[in-house]
């Protein structure tokens, strides 16, 4: 089974802090994605990557950046955390056009 | 109009009954369709892909209607463990990005 591992299950950060969310997958998938999930808004795509060092903006990239230096690792960076970035963050990976496998999520609270 | 729309529910279902619900999508060029299941405070998990000819996996049946741009999920002989939110997922025409519906909540009661 593909495993997608997110480094933290729960995080509490202060407003203005730089926050790093890490995601690692172990099945050599080319595609990796970062979503956030909020009540009433569903899952929204922040950034995605089809290959190493490649990244593309999703639907809500503002306030975020990403890094993919190795195929298995895709990091989401909150440059200066704000309270409206309090959310559940989900990383996913996929092979070609097959369905995604998600990590277990990171629940981030910005105070 | 949202790209993928679902009735949020909840659908209250007696144990053992059959429940069915639909999802509509707006992009006629979409190629791949999936149903995911999400339990409370957990990540979504792939339930099944949806093929043009329709497909079945145990008690679950998925159908695709391209002409009317909707997919459906039917659950037979509902179990208490089927209680979850079911997410309709459609790929965008370009690339491997998937768009998620808001989910349909199903509650199976004894």
Whether residue A2 lies within 8 A of chain B, CB to CB, comes out as: no
For residue B75, give how far its alpha carbon lies from the nearest alpha carbon of chain A (Å): 21
User: Which helix (H) or strand (E) segment is B61 a member of?
Assistant: strand B60-65
Q: Per-residue pLDDT for A2 more than 70?
A: no
Q: Per-residue pLDDT for A99 more than 90?
A: no
For residues A9 and A11, give the distance between their C-alpha atoms in angstroms, rounded to a whole number. Answer: 7
Percentage of chain B beyond pLDDT 90 is 79
Q: Per-residue pLDDT for B77 more than 70?
A: yes
| Over residues A96-103, mean pLDDT | 83
| Over residues B31-45, mean pLDDT | 93
Residue B89: per-residue pLDDT: 93
Q: Note whether B98 contacts A105, CB cutoff 8 Å.
A: no
Q: Per-residue pLDDT for B70 more than 90?
A: yes
Residue A1: per-residue pLDDT: 66
Kindly report, residue by residue over A21-31, the tens digit of the pLDDT: 999 999 889 99
Q: Per-residue pLDDT for B8 more than 80?
A: yes
Q: Taking a C-beta distance cutoff of 8 angstroms, is the pair A87, A38 a contact?
A: yes
State the count of interchain CB pairs (< 8 A) between A and B: 46
For residues A97 and B95, give the distance between their C-alpha atoms in angstroms, rounded to a whole number. Answer: 8
Kindly report, residue by residue over A34-86, the tens digit of the pLDDT: 999 998 888 999 999 999 989 999 999 999 999 999 999 999 999 999 999 99
| Pairing, β B19-25 against β B4-6 | antiparallel
Q: Per-residue pLDDT for B2 more than 90?
A: no
Residue B93: per-residue pLDDT: 61
| Over residues B69-82, mean pLDDT | 97
- Taking Cα atoms as reference points, which of A101, A110, A106 lies closest to residue A22? A106
Residue B110: per-residue pLDDT: 95
Residue A100: per-residue pLDDT: 87
Whether residue A61 lies within 8 A of chain B, CB to CB, comes out as: no
Please name the residues between 16 and 55 in chain A that touch chain B, using a CB distance below 8 Å: 31, 33, 35, 40-43, 45, 48, 50
Start-to-end CA distance of chain B, whole Å, equals 37
Name the residue with tokens 């369709």. Answer: B33
């Amino acid at each position: 089974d593909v495993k997608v591992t997110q480094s933290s299950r729960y995080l509490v950060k202060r407003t203005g802090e730089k926050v790093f969310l890490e995601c690692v997958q172990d099945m050599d998938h080319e595609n990796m994605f970062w979503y956030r999930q909020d009540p009433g808004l569903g899952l929204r795509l922040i950034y995605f990557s089809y290959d190493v060092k490649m990244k593309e903006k999703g639907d809500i990239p503002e306030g975020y950046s990403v890094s993919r230096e190795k195929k298995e690792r895709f990091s989401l960076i909150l440059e200066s955390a704000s309270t409206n970035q309090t959310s559940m963050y989900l990383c996913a990976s996929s092979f070609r056009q097959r369905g995604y496998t998600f990590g277990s999520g990171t629940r981030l609270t910005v105070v | 109009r949202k790209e993928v729309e679902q009735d949020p529910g909840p659908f209250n279902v007696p144990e053992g009954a059959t429940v069915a619900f639909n999802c509509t999508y707006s992009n006629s060029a979409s190629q791949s369709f999936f149903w995911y299941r999400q339990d409370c405070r957990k990540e979504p998990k792939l339930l099944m892909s949806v093929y043009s000819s329709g497909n079945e996996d145990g008690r679950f049946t998925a159908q695709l209607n391209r002409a009317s741009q909707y997919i459906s999920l039917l659950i037979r002989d509902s179990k208490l463990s089927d209680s979850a939110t079911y997410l309709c997922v459609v790929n965008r025409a370009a690339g491997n990005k998937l768009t998620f519906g808001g989910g349909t909540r199903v509650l199976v009661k004894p």
